[in-house]
Structure 1
Amino acid sequence: MNKKLIGIVFSLLMTLPGCMGSEEKDIFYGDDINPPIPAQDFILTDGDGEYYQLSQLEGKVIVIAFLFTRCPDVCPIVSANLDFISEQLGDVYGEEVVILTITVDPWTDNTTVMNDYAEARSLDWPHLTGSVEELEPVWKNFDVGLQTYDSDVDGDGVADGFDVCPDTPEGEDVDGDGCGLDTQQSEESDVQVKHHPLLTYWVDHTTGTIIVDKNMNQRVWWEDTLWNPDLVMEDILLLVNE
């Protein structure tokens, strides 16, 4: 076989699908999940105390966020971003796109707490919780790194993750931010409340929102600290139109 013929054969092979180890191309603004990961079915409980099954959403694009209601920083921003998305989607929202929030703190986030969190922010999508046994397979399937800890460097009873004043003098009473009532209050502060016992442990988790396609496959991952709502919208609509 002469060199010219070899070149023709090689060119033809390169044009055939699946030949020469062709690779999947990234098509989303968020991180493409390649290969797609099947979203395993689950049954959790919504804020009204009703069972909620993932498989009932097959045929729709699903945006799933993981958070906990005591989270003081990223989680409220994620909720606000999702609220913006729901408004921008217009008629597509609910009909072709569904949003879900799932807790990573079932020890605190019961149905009442989840419902209060949603109502306080006028969020109209399901906020789901369950037992640790029910949630663990969900966290694993969606690759949610989760760790709880109760480290408290200054021993004031407020976990370090919540403690605004990590060097409170020993034995001093503190407010809800872990700041000493005697030595760590600003002049403007009139808060004189002992810390709530729910702040005695902290939840650390992977901050990411996953978009699931109509065939129940995880397709896109958005890091919560890098959200661009307009680009998230583009990714959602791309899946809607598939």
Structure 2
Amino acid sequence: MLRKSTALLMCTLLLLAGCTSPGDVERWTPHGEPLESVKVLDFTLTSSEGNNWTYSEEAANTTLVIAFLFTNCLDICPIVTHNMKWVKSQLSPDELNKTTFLTITVDPWRDNASTLHDWKTGTNSEWIHLTSSSNDSESPSMAALQDVWINFGVGLTIEEYDANNADNDSNSSARHHPDDYTVNHETGTILVDRFGHQRVWWGDNDWVLDLVLDDVRYLNTL
């Protein structure tokens, strides 16, 4: 009888503490589009303040809300940023301690640390913004950023313009002049659990604020 009571007490304490495992989230149906459990590979990029930012050191054991944007995007990117600000504003101090917000550029040729800093200030988006420390396509920092795009399945194409204003597609590893190209990217906001697995995808045009917040809050219970 004592053994059964002890086991029951332990189960109750685990539930109250919110102690769950990656297996629990496998049985969860999010409001956003569920993702295959792709592990986030560790990475180091440059922040808008010009400092190195490493995922395993800065965001380990937190829920990650990550958007891939660029500052020259004048339509959907400001909306996604506003949506992230709203979600962040709804979280309690305890929830904020469990959550990391990130913006990673898909246009490092324009978006150096200074440009990202201006964007961050102008949009009042008080979270980490990341880019490459160099716009040289052969640099280690650009390779690190491209690895992040691949890890998160960012579909990225570059439209370049020649002297006659004709456009043609190019891949994301080419060099660019700041005035002769535009970026098209296919991604959304991705939610990562504290175990480092990609779990939920919200398309840029598909946000339902309350439901995104609900998904974040569930992941924070893991």
**TM-score (structure 1 length as normaliser):** 0.70
**1:135 to 2:115 alignment:** no
Task: Identify if the C-alpha distance between structure 1 residues 25 and 94 changes in structure 2 by more than 3 Å, giving closer, same or farther.
Answer: closer
Q: Secondary structure at the match of 1:37?
A: coil
Q: What is the CA-CA distance between 1:152 and the residue it aligns to?
A: 6.7
Q: Over residues 185-230 of structure 1, what are the superposed CA-to-partner deviations in whole Å (9 max), with x where a residue is unaligned?
A: xxxxxxxxxxxx7342100101311100010110111111101111
Shift of 1:91: 1.0
Report the Cα distance in structure 2 between the residues aligned to 1:63 and 1:91, rounded to whole angstroms: 16
Provide Cα deviations, 1:148-173, integer angstroms capped at 9, x if missing partner: 11147973x9x79xxxxxxxxxxxxx
RMSD over aligned Cα atoms = 2.0
Question: Aligned equivalents of 2:145 and 2:33: distance in 1?
Answer: 24
Does residue 20 of structure 2 align to residue 40 of structure 1? no
Matched to 2:126, the amino acid is D
SS of the residue 1:38 aligns to: coil
Structure 2: state its 5+ residue gaps: 1-25, 133-140, 169-176
What does residue 150 of structure 1 align with?
Answer: 160
Structure 1: distance between partners of 2:35 and 2:123: 31
Give, in whole Å, the separation in 1 of the partners of 2:72 and 2:94: 31
Look up the equivalent residue of 1:133 and give its one-letter code: A
Partner of 1:231: 211
1:63-82 C-alpha deviation (Å, 9 max, x unpaired): 01001100011111110000
Cα offsets for 1:29-66 (capped at 9, x unmatched): 001113x1101100001011010011121111000100
Shift of 1:122: 1.1
Segments of structure 1 that go 5 or more residues without pairing to the other structure are 1-23, 161-196
For the residues of structure 1 that align with 2:39 and 2:187, how far apart are their CA atoms?
20
Cα distance change of structure 1 residues 124 and 27 upon mapping to structure 2, 3 Å threshold: same
Letter in 2 for 1:112: S
The TM-score normalised by the length of structure 2 is 0.76
Give % identity: 39
User: Contact 2:109–2:178 (CA<8 Å) still a contact in 1?
Assistant: no
CA contact (8 A) 1:86 1:93 kept: no
| Number of matched pairs | 180
Moved more, 146-155 or 53-62: 146-155
**Larger strand proportion, structure 1 or 2?**
2
Counterpart of 1:198 in structure 2 is 178
**Helix, strand or coil for the counterpart of 1:63?**
strand
Greater RCO (CA < 8 Å, at least 6 residues apart): 2
1:218 aligns with 2:198: yes
Take 1:147 and 1:106, find their aligned partners in 2: how far apart are those partners?
13
